[in-house]
Structure 1
């Protein structure tokens, strides 16, 4: 299925999500591999779920305390192509990274440039920035500032992305892609995909 933009789905912890998102055209699956984060899975689960899907990027999500040496070990063990981080790492990573950053950093030209200069040496493999949006508190001026940032660096949007607002976000901001949230199974093999399906449907190319 062809989508209007690149889509990653985070919080993958079950086979239903992994197969559904891959089948709907997601480019990547994000697994929470840091035990300090909610909903974390272990490396064995990542390898097992990855064995059931093809053609998608495998991404590991890590919090603020995990050493880079442990991240790089899990990258190798799980066959990850990228990582999603919540802080600047203290040493070089072996794969490209997506980095969560506060909106005030992303939307300020001077602060954004300073951040990129500081982070680039340890993210030499590649860097993208993730903005987490609250659509109830995203005035037009902030959207325009995000659109300007998206012309200068790979900007990914996460947060309250729904079928109702996704087309507008793509039109105004033109991000590198979207990060959607996966969910939990009701019971093994049973999962309600209504909300996620609505977003994928809104992203389908005509």
Structure 2
């Protein structure tokens, strides 16, 4: 079994969801390691979950933690492959670490996409993957075109505007590397519950 697309699941908080996602052959499973977050995963809980998983990359997800503390904290989390951050100013402090880097960007307007396109060479030079989310943008022809332009230059994970009925067409039209879906216990905008996440994965499943 496999999926038609690269898939990252963010903010996984429990073994049941993690094992389901790994069993569906998602590529990345993310854990929220921001200590002030509702979905914070302790080293003990992380080890309990990841000890049952194989064949998937683990992502340490942070919001505002300073890079020095990030790298120190990761000594307690074995097997992390990628660091995801939301503070752009911290990227240069992490690109020479031993971890792959993902920059999670909240889009509030089309101008944000133009800005990312203008910085594409920097992201490309340092192999930085982009994870794009938005609570305000609706995907239309203009957004699709800009996503396509950005995805032709850097690796992009799309984290908004994803519906089971349209996800495969959206992937084809934008040319993005893949999608990013939210796990966790909290209901997220555009993703009503884990059942909808599962529905999207099932749509992407390659039939034997």
Q: Same fold (TM over 0.5)?
A: yes
Q: Answer whether contact 2:121 2:153 (CA < 8 A) is retained.
A: no
Mapped pair 1:71 → 2:70 = yes
Is the partner of 1:99 in helix, strand or coil? strand
Residue equivalent to 1:98: 102
Comparing 154-163 with 98-107, greater Cα deviation is found at 98-107
Q: Structure 2 unaligned runs (5+)? A: 187-192
Q: Answer whether contact 2:10 2:181 (CA < 8 A) is retained.
A: yes
Equivalent positions of 1:4-83 (< 5 A) are 4-64=4-64, 66-78=65-77, 79-83=79-83
Deviation at 1:30, TM superposition (A): 0.3
Change in 2 beyond 3 A, CA 1:155/1:137:
same
Deviation at 1:136, TM superposition (A): 6.8
Is the partner of 1:97 in helix, strand or coil? strand
Q: Structure 1 unaligned runs (5+)? A: 186-191
Change in 2 beyond 3 A, CA 1:30/1:39:
same
Instruction: Give, in whole Å, the separation in 2 of the partners of 1:87 and 1:135.
Output: 20
TM-score (norm 2): 0.82
Residue equivalent to 1:167: 168
Q: Deviations over 1:25-69 (max 9, x none)?
A: 1111100001133311112211111001111111011012x1111
Q: Deviations over 1:92-147 (max 9, x none)?
A: 35211110224446632x65333753x689xx4x3011111459722211111101
Instruction: Give, in whole Å, the separation in 1 of the partners of 2:166 and 2:175.
Output: 13
Residue equivalent to 2:189: none
Let me know the Cα RMSD of the aligned residues.
2.5
TM-score (norm 1): 0.83
